[in-house]
Structure 1
Amino acid sequence: MAGQASKRFVERKVFYAGDKIFKEGDPGDRAYIVERGMIEIFKMIDGKEVVLGTIGKGGIFGEMALIDNQPRMAAARSVQQTTLVVVTRDTFMTKLAKADPFMRGLINIFVKNIRRMGQELAKYKS
């Protein structure tokens, strides 16, 4: 019974307006689901902060680093008081392993394309 309870345990973290969740270049060992509040994803380009987008309730972010083990391609911070559900690498990999091999391959292609587009955006904004 204790094993079942630990499987259902979900870690939540609360962040306040302006709190950084992670920085660009950080290793990615977890993803996050926005339970309440809003997150802003941003990148420094030529010394200027460029907001790439916002993520609200139900959205997920930080997942790309879990898929391809690359450093964070952007930073994330809380826009307002926000509660996040933490998705650990172990949890993510367990779920991914259960996915169809075709879908795993497709996800890897998506991540490569998104990273490439991020690099192109940085060059374009330079």
Structure 2
Amino acid sequence: MEKGKVLERKIFYAGQKVFNEGDQGDRAYLIQDGMVEISKHGLVLATLGKGELFGEMALVDDKPRMASAKAQTDLSVVIINRDTFREKLAKSDPFIRGLLNIFVRNIRNLTR
């Protein structure tokens, strides 16, 4: 993040939904503290904690959320909005951007 740029933070309480499968995604989340559960059709795919990122796939390919996210414990996150994400991606190597798109497409295909 650029120096002097204010980061938006948010707290979700244990059991609170962060987003639902099928929602439009306009932000990703970087976990500062707590745990989040990622699930699809009620099946837990992952439990993520401090320092991990989630919700980023919808920002890569502009498709609806492929899974739901729910705070497993009280959860503190930094919100990464679409514009910030795109600025960072635009500055990255074109090869890396292409690879990221392939990874996201493959993950979506695997979870259908």
Question: CA offsets per residue over residues 67-108 of structure 1, 9 Å max, x none?
Answer: 000000000000011101000000000000000101100000
Which amino acid counterpart does residue 19 of structure 1 have in structure 2? Q
CA distance in 1, matches of 2:110, 2:32: 28
> How many correspondences in the alignment?
110
- Name the residue aligned to 1:107: 100
Distance 2:44 2:95 in 1: 33
Report the counterpart of residue 19 of structure 1 in structure 2. Answer: 16
Q: Secondary structure at the residue paired with 2:89?
A: helix
SS in 1 for 2:111: helix
Q: Is residue 59 of structure 1 aligned with residue 52 of structure 2?
A: yes
Q: TM-score, normalised by structure 2?
A: 0.96
- Structure 1 gaps of 5+ residues are 120-126
| 2:110 corresponds to which of 114, 117, 123 | 117
Matched, 1:98 2:95: no
**AA of the residue aligned to 1:20:** K
Deviation at 1:43, TM superposition (A): 1.0
The answer to whether structure 1 residue 70 and structure 2 residue 63 are counterparts is yes
Q: Distance in 1 between matches of 2:108 and 2:37?
A: 18
SS at match of 1:103: helix
Distance in 2 (CA, whole Å) between partners of 1:82 and 1:76 is: 11
Cα root mean square deviation, aligned? 0.8
| 1:88 pairs with one of 65, 68, 81 | 81
Q: Distance in 2 between matches of 1:82 and 1:41?
A: 13
Runs of 4 or more above 2 Å deviation: none
- Letter of the 1:27 partner, please give it: Q
3-state SS of the aligned residue for 1:93?
helix
